[in-house]
Structure 1
Amino acid sequence: MTLCVAGMALAVSTFTLDWQHSVARTTWWERWEVTAEGLAPVEARITGLGAGMEPPPEARREADGWHWSPRVPPQREVVLSTSGATGGGWRLCADGACFDLPETGRPLVLSACD
């Protein structure tokens, strides 16, 4: 499968996304699969609590934060906000390489593509 984002096409079957809350400095991390149905969230984790970063009731506490499996069907697109005001944006990792996605002030769209 191929993941399309910010003008890039990556031949990957899984990837991770993470970002850090601008005030609380809490990290939000997600693992996704690229499928024929779209992008499927598999696992999520936050390192601590912060405004708008509360874990769902089914999350379990582990040494490195709260973990859960999102109950969301595959998404045709995933839209990431980029305000340009947080001092850091989204990081995407796949196949051992990581990319800092640009903070353009416009949404970034991720999708499964051919």
Structure 2
Amino acid sequence: MSACLMAGAMAIALGPGAGFSLEWTHSVEKVTWHEDWRITPAGLIPTRAAIRGSGAGMEPGPDARLIDGWLVWQPQAPAAVPELVLAASGATGGGWRLCGADCVTLGQDAAGPITLRPCPG
């Protein structure tokens, strides 16, 4: 089964498994943050998070393990969310790298936030 994710008005194919990853650079700490997400009938659920270091507002989960230079953990989300809002500070020098079936960079030159949600259907 293939799935799809809407990023504003753009549809992004995810391929088998209905999962995607997001990766970006923290605007203050300048370290890389990576999250894996899954689309379910209830909404979006984070399945894995990882950071290359820590800092203000970037504390790893309590079960984090160091793997190949990344602090990796499984987020304990209380419930699925209907959408993710990616807010741009303009201070990162780049956007969000979203990977599903292929990878795209979102928000590199965005004037405002980008909302991700499952495709209707």
TM-score, normalising length from structure 2? 0.83
What RMSD in Å do the two structures reach over aligned CA positions?
A: 1.5
Q: 2:66 aligns with which of 55, 61, 68?
A: 61
- The gaps in structure 2 that reach 5 residues or longer are none
Q: 1:6 aligns with which of 3, 8, 11?
A: 8
The residue aligned with 1:87 is: 93
* Cα deviation, residue 57, structure 1: 1.7
TM-score, normalising length from structure 1? 0.88
Q: 2:47 aligns with which of 37, 42, 55?
A: 42
Paired residues of 1:6 and 1:101 also in contact (CA < 8 A): no
* Cα deviation, residue 31, structure 1: 0.5
Paired residues of 2:27 and 2:89 also in contact (CA < 8 A): no
Task: Count residues in correspondence.
Answer: 113
Paired residues of 1:83 and 1:105 also in contact (CA < 8 A): no
Q: Deviations over 1:2-43 (max 9, x none)?
A: 211132112321110010123433110001111111111111
- The gaps in structure 1 that reach 5 residues or longer are none
- Moved segments of 4+, more than 4 Å: none
Paired residues of 1:59 and 1:67 also in contact (CA < 8 A): yes
How far, CA to CA, are the matches of 2:45 and 2:26 in structure 1?
23
